[in-house]
């Protein structure tokens, strides 16, 4: 790799790999778990799917449930530091 790639390119390569993996994860998640995507023939024949429970499971995933318990701050330590009176 040393002959074909310079060391300055490694951070860009890491960032692009990370972004590509996030996009791939989201696409695979949507194809496999999204209730609106109809891959098999039996679901494609149905005009209206009765899958409210499946839709709620898809929308209310674990990460969203975790974020509901957290305060809506990006950097709480910095916010506390600047909001305190000294």
Per-residue confidence of the chain (86 residues) as pLDDT tens digits? 567 788 888 999 999 999 999 999 999 988 888 877 777 787 777 776 677 887 788 888 888 889 889 888 888 888 888 888 76
| Ranges of each domain in the chain | 7-71
The reported pLDDT for the residue numbered 45 is 75
Structure tokens at 72: 């809506």
For residues 18 and 14, give the distance between their C-alpha atoms in angstroms, rounded to a whole number. Answer: 6
The reported pLDDT for the residue numbered 23 is 97
The reported pLDDT for the residue numbered 13 is 93
Give the residue from 29, 84, 82 showing the smallest Cα distance to 59.
29
């Amino acid at each position: 790799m040393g002959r074909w790639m310079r060391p300055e390119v490694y951070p860009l390569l890491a960032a692009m790999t990370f972004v590509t993996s996030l996009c791939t994860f989201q696409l695979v998640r949507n194809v496999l778990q999204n209730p609106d995507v109809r891959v098999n023939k039996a679901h494609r024949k149905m005009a209206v799917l009765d899958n409210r429970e499946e839709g709620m499971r898809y929308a209310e995933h674990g990460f969203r449930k975790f974020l509901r318990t957290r305060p809506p701050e990006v950097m709480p330590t910095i916010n506390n530091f600047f909001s305190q009176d000294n």
